[in-house]
Amino acid sequence: MANSVKTFLKQAGKDYQNQSVNPPLIRASTIIFKSMQAIKKTQKKYQRNPLSKNFDYGRKGTSTTYELQKLLRKIENCYQVYLTPTGFGAVFLAVISVVRPGDEIIITDSVYSPTRLLTEDYLKNFNIKTKFYDPKNLNDLKQKITKKTKLIFVENPGSNTFEFQDLKKIIAIAKKNKILTALDNTWGTPYLIKPIELGFDMSIVSATKYYSGHSDVMGGTLAINKKVFKKVELSQKVTGLRLSPDDAYLIMRGIRTLDIRLEKHQQNALKISKFLSKQKSVVDIFYPFKKNTNQYKLWKKYYSGASGLMGIKILSKNKNSVIRFVNRLKLFAHGYSWGGFESLALYQDKLALGKRSFTKLHNNEHIIRLHIGLEDPNDLIADIKQAIKSIK
């Protein structure tokens, strides 16, 4: 890419034919042709180059979804990007493309709980076994590998507890054992880290989050290298997972400001992290702000910045008082998802964390997930200050 990502995000997708800054919104189920010969010609073109926009049916996409794919291929620096209706749809597509009955998957213990449900519970019905490794101990990952291991699925940082891992070591382990790799990169996005460049075979982002940035659309993206292309192409075809042109248009519009928003999210999150570090009831902050820690070093090794999502651990014998703290926040709404312009707060109980083997909560420990939005950070700090007095 000749220009920087910042410039590319503002310039990509312009439509001079229609004299439009953004690509037009094209909705289509039936793609029409003037003759049968024209259909066959288009199909042959697609077979020769499946990255082209020679579509013969709406399930394969329209020019709107194609423009988003083309933009994402550039910023991911990958072979192809698939668009799914939800972020979790991208997780499903990645996993189902490369594992078959009798195979084994090894996954970060602190993975997104629906990913755990898919792999540990649902896929066992198809004779696919899942093991979970300690994200702070890669020797544990090594010891769990067998001849049946076909996929190492990493979430970095971990869900809710935000453990950073040594990604190059994981890739080296996988390559040595000829195992495919996938990384859930929703927290960082390819603006902060490019997993395919690093050596991962698949990179997942929930477009619902920072790509959209406005909490009004759902979608997912799966970026891949050429090695797994045929497997993912077939799975996408038979599952029918496809993002609508309307959602692609909204994501395309939102992603223009990805760089500006992420930088502001980080500025606000750093300021709030420093404030929270001085609060007696807060015993840990899951965010890379404290230098000379191992987690900070692992973050700094791979990322060019941080996003706005963090966790805090509160020590209290009174669970209700911790929930009262969350409820008393006025500028933080309470709801699932994150990555929009607004701040959010959620009390994360053991069910939300999932059935973890290593990253467990001990008695009187409570985790609050905070998404630090684009509001004035001083207002957010004042809001936390008045609410945190509730904790007993």
Residues 308-363 have pLDDT tens digits of: 999 999 999 999 999 999 999 999 999 999 999 999 999 997 767 778 888 778 88
- What percentage of the chain carries pLDDT values higher than 70? 99
- Given 3.90.1150.10, 3.30.70.141, 3.40.109.10, 3.30.70.20, which CATH number is that of 258-390? 3.90.1150.10
Mean pLDDT of 268-291: 96
Task: Note the pLDDT of residue 22.
Answer: 83
- Residue by residue, DSSP assigns 340-371 as SSS-EEEEE-HHHH-S-SSSPPPTTEEEEEEE
Residue 20: pLDDT over 90: no
Task: Note the pLDDT of residue 259.
Answer: 97
Residue 201: pLDDT over 70: yes
Mean pLDDT of 362-380: 96
- Strand-pairing partners, residue 154, are 183
Where b means 16+ CB within 10 Å and e means fewer, 308-324 reads: bbbbbbbbbeeeebbbe
Residue 3: pLDDT over 80: no
Every domain of the chain and the residues it spans: 5-255, 258-390
Give residue 1's pLDDT band: very low, low, confident or very high (50, 70, 90): very low
Where b means 16+ CB within 10 Å and e means fewer, 142-156 reads: eebbeeebbbbbbbb
Mean pLDDT of 273-294: 95
**Is-contact 215 97, C-beta < 8 A?**
no
Residue 23: pLDDT over 90: no
Q: Are strands 149-155 and 104-108 parallel, antiparallel or unpaired?
A: parallel
pTM for this entry: 0.94
5-255: CATH number: 3.40.640.10
Q: What three-state secondary structure class fits 228?
A: helix
- Determine which of 29-33, 123-127, 367-371 has the lowest per-residue pLDDT on average: 29-33
Q: How far is CA 120 from CA 311, 312, 342, in A?
A: 25, 27, 33
H-state helical runs in the chain: 5-11, 36-48, 63-76, 87-98, 113-116, 138-144, 167-176, 189-192, 195-198, 229-239, 245-255, 258-276, 294-302, 319-328, 350-353, 377-387
Residue 136: pLDDT over 60: yes
Task: Note the pLDDT of residue 122.
Answer: 96
φ/ψ of residue 166, rounded to 5? -85, 95
Mean pLDDT of 16-32: 85
Q: What does the alpha-carbon distance between residue 350 and residue 378 come to, in Å, rounded to a whole number?
A: 31
- What percentage of the chain carries pLDDT values higher than 90? 84
> Which one has a higher pLDDT value, 162 or 350?
162
Calculate the average pLDDT of the chain. 95
DSSP tag of 280:
T
Judge if 5-255 and 258-390 fold alike in CATH terms. no
Task: Note the pLDDT of residue 351.
Answer: 67
One-letter amino acid of 89: G
Task: Note the pLDDT of residue 10.
Answer: 86
Q: What does the alpha-carbon distance between residue 241 and residue 295 come to, in Å, rounded to a whole number?
A: 36
Mean pLDDT of 277-298: 95
